[in-house]
Amino acid sequence: MKIKKVALITPPYHSGVVESAGTWLNVGFVYIAGALRAQGFEVDYYDAMSLWHKWPDIRKRIEAFQPDVVATTAFTASIVDAVKLLRFAKEINPGVVTVLGNVHATFCYEEILKADHDAVDYIVRGEGEVTLPTLLNCLKAGDDPQNVPGLAYYRDGTVSATPKAPFIHDLDSLPTAWDLVEWPIYSYRAKNNARLAIVSSSRGCQQKCSFCSQQLFWAQTWRARSPENFITELEMLNQKYGVEVAMLADEIPTFDRERWERILDLMIERRVGVKLLMETRVDDILRDADIMDKYRRAGVEHIYVGVEAGSQETLDLFKKDTLVEQSKAAIDLINNADIVSETSFVLGMPEDTPESIAATIELAKHYNPDMAFFLAIAPWPYAELYPQLEEYVATKDYRKYNLVEPVIKPRNMTLKDLERELGRASQKFYMHKFQNLDKLTPWKREFMLAVFDILVNNSYLAGQMRDMMKEGKEMPPEVKALIRDIKGHKSGAPHPIAPIP
C-alpha cells in the first residue's frame, strides 16, 4: 500500500469553554507530526478547529494536500465531529486510510467501531508517537496490523484489539514539528493577544479522581522530561516563533518537587521570556509554600487548582484525596504570591439542589480565587464514577459532554433548572469579584478587567455577564468605565479571532 502523506486534522468542534481565553494549539499533533516525519512521512498539521474552518474549507485543504492517511483526535465532546471528519475524508477519497486517537477512542473503541467502522479504519489506543508510524509502516509493507501493539480495528464483523502498547519513557528523545504550526492564529486574549503555545513537560497522573479520564489513560503512571530539555524548548519557542505565553498541558507538572524547582531556577537564571499558565494539585501548592515567591519570579502567572466540590462528602466521592480547608489554604498561597488563581466547581450531581449550589457559590467567594468556573459534570462513559451516575444521564449526545451543557439530571431539578443555576452561579461569583477589584494588586486588577471584557464579549457566559452588568450599581468606577466601552463596542468591528457562539 502506498502511504507517504499524512494529514493530522483537528475536528471542527466548538463549545466556547476554553476558547473564551484564547486559541490553543494541539501539542499532541506537534509530537505525532515529529514522529511521523522522523519515519519519512510528509505531514500536514491542520488545526481546523482553531482556524474555525467549515466543511468546504476542510475539503479544499484535504484536496490540496491529497493525503494517503487522515488522522484525527477526539475528547468525548468532539467524538461526533471527529467521526464525521473521517467519513468526510473517505467521501473525498474512498481509498484514504483513517485513524482516530485520544482518550475517548482509547476507551470506547468498541462502541465507535461497531457503529462507524465504515468511517474509522484504525483506532490508536494510548500514546501515538510510536503506534501510528508503526501502523503506517506495517500497512506500507503489507503486513498484518494484528502485530502492532496499541490498536483497535474492525475485521470480519468483529472488533479486534491488539495488546496495549508500552508507555514512552524517554520523553526527551521525542522529535517535534513546531515548524508546522500556523503560529499567527494562536493567541491569549487576557494578555493583549500575546502569542500562545501549549507545551508538555511531563505525562501522566498518579491520582485516583473518580470522575476523571487522565488517571485511566495514563494508568496512574507519571514520566517527565528533564528540566534542561524543557527549558531549552521554551527558549526556542520564544526566540524562533515569538511565543510569549505557554500553557502547560501537564496534569501534575509539580509532582517531583526537585525537578520542578530546577525548572523554576532555570527560568529565573536564563530569563526565559515566556510566562507560564499551569494546572496543579492543591497538595503540591501546600508543599511548595516556601517557594511560591520562586514561582512568581520564574514567570508563573496563572495557576489552576481543582477544588471541584464544596462538601467533604463530594470530595471523597470524587476521590480528590484533599480536605475542603486545604483548598482555601492553597488558593491563599497563590494569591499571596501575586499569581492569578483559578479553580472550578463541578455541579449537577444527583443530590444537587438550588440550595446546595447557592452554598457552593458562597464557598467559592470564601475561597476567593481570582477566577472560578461552575461546570456541569460530564459523565465520561469510561470513568470510575459512571455506574453511580448512569441512571441520571439525560442524554447520550456526546457533543453535550462539554462541561457547559447539563447532561446529568439531579433528582430534584430539571435540566433547565440546573442550566439556570449554573449561569447564576457565575453571575453571582463575578459580581462579587468585580465589586472587590480595589483589593487586588495593580497588575491583577488590569488582568481581571481584561477577563471581564472576555467574559462579556467572547465566552459562553456572555449572557449571564451582560445581565450582571445591568445590576452593577455597586461596581467600582473602572468596571463601570469598562462597561461603557463594552456597550460602545461595534459588533461589526474586525476581531483577531472568530467570536465565540
Q: Which of 8-12, 206-210, 361-365, 437-441 has the highest mean pLDDT?
A: 8-12
- Asked whether the beta carbons of 228 and 266 are under 8 A apart, the reply is yes
pLDDT of residue 7: 98
- For residue 272, is pLDDT > 60? yes
Instruction: Read off the pLDDT of residues 165-218 as tens digits, 9 standing for 90 and up.
Output: 999 999 999 999 999 999 999 999 888 889 999 999 998 765 655 455 555 655
Query: What was the pLDDT predicted at 501?
Result: 26
In the DSSP assignment, the letter for residue 338 is: T
Give CA–CA dist 169/38, Å, rounded.
18
Task: State the distance between the two ends of the chain, measured CA to CA, in whole angstroms.
Answer: 43
Q: Which three cell numbers stand for residue 301?
A: 502567572
pLDDT for 455 equals 80
User: What percent of the chain stands above pLDDT 70?
Assistant: 84
Instruction: Please give the model's pTM, rounded to 2 decimal places.
Output: 0.88
What is the pLDDT, as a whole number, of residue 312?
55
The confidence score (pLDDT) of residue 435 equals: 83
Taking all residues of the chain, what is their mean pLDDT, rounded to a whole number? 87
Q: How far apart are alpha carbons 113 and 361 in whole angstroms?
A: 42
pLDDT for 499: 29
Q: Which residue has the cell 514567570?
A: 299
**Cα 289–chain centre separation:** 27
Average pLDDT over residues 415-423: 92
68-91 average pLDDT score: 96
Helix (H/G/I), strand (E/B), else coil: 328: helix
pLDDT digits (tens, 9 = 90+) for 396-412: 999 999 888 999 999 99
Please give the domain boundaries of the chain with CATH numbers for all domains: 5-161 (3.40.50.2300), 177-436 (3.20.20.70)
Query: % helix / strand / coil in the chain, to the nearest 5?
Result: 45, 15, 40
Q: What local confidence, expressed as pLDDT, does residue 15 receive?
A: 77
Q: Which three cell numbers stand for residue 184?
A: 499567527
